[in-house]
């Protein structure tokens, strides 16, 4: 299961789907993966919105049990294609590419993922 940034951001910022997101992370704990690009996106947003809590929230994300994977050339190619094909932002395209390469579903809150050709778990 590839975790999109939106899932962790919902939890970290107590957004409306935070409880759903937390339950999904717990249910799929042994199979969670995330692109390091999405990790960077989360860290940027946390530093921007909660700078006083950055170190605490960064530690929480890094200790979440998610396997963080760096993109490779194949993923870059998939990102480029997905960016033109779907209504996804660049970060979302990296989540999509990792899911495509790993042949697994995407866990997301962002409804833009509903248009992709991979399995997606959304609230």
What is the end-to-end Cα distance of the chain in Å, rounded?
A: 15
pLDDT score at 95: 98
Q: Residue 73 is encoded by which pair of tokens?
A: 């050339």
pLDDT digits (tens, 9 = 90+) for 15-64: 999 999 999 999 999 999 999 999 999 999 999 999 999 999 999 999 99
Asked: is 2-107 a CATH 3.40.50.300 domain? The reply is no
The answer to whether the CB of 10 falls within 8 A of the CB of 123 is: no
CA dist 122 and 113 (Å) reads 8
Give the pLDDT band (50/70/90) at residue 7: very high
pLDDT score at 42: 97
pTM: 0.95
Question: Domains of the chain: which residue ranges?
Answer: 2-107
The answer to whether the CB of 21 falls within 8 A of the CB of 8 is: yes
pLDDT score at 119: 97
pLDDT score at 79: 98
CA dist 104 and 106 (Å) reads 7
Give the pLDDT band (50/70/90) at residue 86: very high
């Amino acid at each position: 299961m590839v975790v999109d940034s939106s899932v962790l951001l919902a939890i970290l910022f107590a957004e409306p789907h935070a409880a759903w997101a937390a339950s999904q992370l717990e249910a799929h704990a042994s199979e969670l993966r995330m692109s390091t690009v999405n990790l960077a996106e989360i860290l940027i947003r946390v530093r921007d919105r909660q700078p006083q809590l950055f170190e605490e929230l960064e530690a929480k994300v890094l200790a979440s049990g998610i396997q963080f994977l760096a993109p490779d050339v194949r993923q870059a190619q998939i990102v480029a294609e997905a960016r033109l094909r779907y209504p996804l932002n660049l970060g979302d395209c990296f989540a999509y590419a990792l899911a495509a390469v790993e042949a697994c579903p995407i866990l997301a809150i962002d409804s833009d993922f509903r248009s992709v050709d991979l399995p997606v778990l959304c609230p």
